[in-house]
Amino acid sequence: MSDLKAQVLDKSLPPFKRLTLLMEMLRSPQGCNWDRKQTHETLLPYLIEETYEVVDSIAYQRYAELKEELGDLLCQVVFHAQLARERGEFDIDDAVTHLVDKLIRRHPHVFGRPRDLSPQEVRDQWEKIKVNSGEKPSVLSGLPRSMPALTMAFRMGEKAGGFGFDWSDPTEVMEKVEEELKELRQEIFSPSREGGDRIESEVGDLLFATASLARKLSVDPELALKRALDKFRRRFERMEGEIASRGGTFDEYTLEQLEQLWQELKRTE
Query: 178 and 236: one domain?
Result: no
- Give the C-alpha separation, 27 to 166, whole Å: 49
Total domains, the chain: 3
- Interior angle at CA 220, CA 217 and CA 223, nearest 5: 140
119 is a domain residue: no
Burial of 218 (0-12, 13-18, 19+ CB in 10 A): exposed
113 is a domain residue: no
CA 233, 237, 238, 242 dihedral sign is positive
- Interior angle at CA 197, CA 191 and CA 199, nearest 5: 60
Percent over 90 (pLDDT), the chain: 71
Average pLDDT over residues 109-121: 92
Domain of residue 181, CATH code = 1.10.287.1080
What pLDDT score does 142 carry?
79
- Give the C-alpha separation, 176 to 182, whole Å: 10
Q: pLDDT for 83-111, tens place per residue?
A: 999 999 999 999 999 999 999 999 999 99
Question: Can you give the pTM of this predicted structure?
Answer: 0.74
Query: 100 and 15: one domain?
Result: yes
Residue 123 pLDDT level (bands cut at 50, 70, 90): confident
Query: 159 and 228: one domain?
Result: no
What pLDDT score does 12 carry?
95
Query: 212 and 233: one domain?
Result: no
Helices 170-188 and 197-216: crossing angle in degrees, nearest 10, is 170
What pLDDT score does 181 carry?
96
Query: 12 and 100: one domain?
Result: yes
113 sits in the region (left: phi over 0; alpha: psi -120 to 50; else beta) called: beta
Q: Measured between alpha carbons, how far is residue 250 from residues 51, 239, 241, 254 in Å?
A: 38, 10, 11, 8
Domain that holds residue 232: 223-268
Query: 59 and 100: one domain?
Result: yes
Contact between 22 and 30 (Cβ < 8 Å): no
Query: 100 and 150: one domain?
Result: no
Q: Which of 68, 86, 101 is nearest to 20 (CA)?
A: 86
- Give the C-alpha separation, 96 to 175, whole Å: 45
- Give the C-alpha separation, 47 to 224, whole Å: 23
118 is a domain residue: no
120 is a domain residue: no
For the chain, the average pLDDT equals 92
Whether residue 137 is predicted with pLDDT greater than 90 in this model: the reply is no
Least confident of 36-50, 130-144, 160-174, 239-253: 130-144
Average pLDDT over residues 19-36: 95
67 is a domain residue: yes
Q: pLDDT for 207-265, tens place per residue?
A: 999 999 999 999 999 989 999 999 999 999 999 999 999 888 888 999 999 999 999 98
User: Between these two residues, 180 and 123, which has the higher pLDDT value?
Assistant: 180
Contact between 72 and 53 (Cβ < 8 Å): yes
Contact between 234 and 202 (Cβ < 8 Å): no
Average pLDDT over residues 36-52: 95
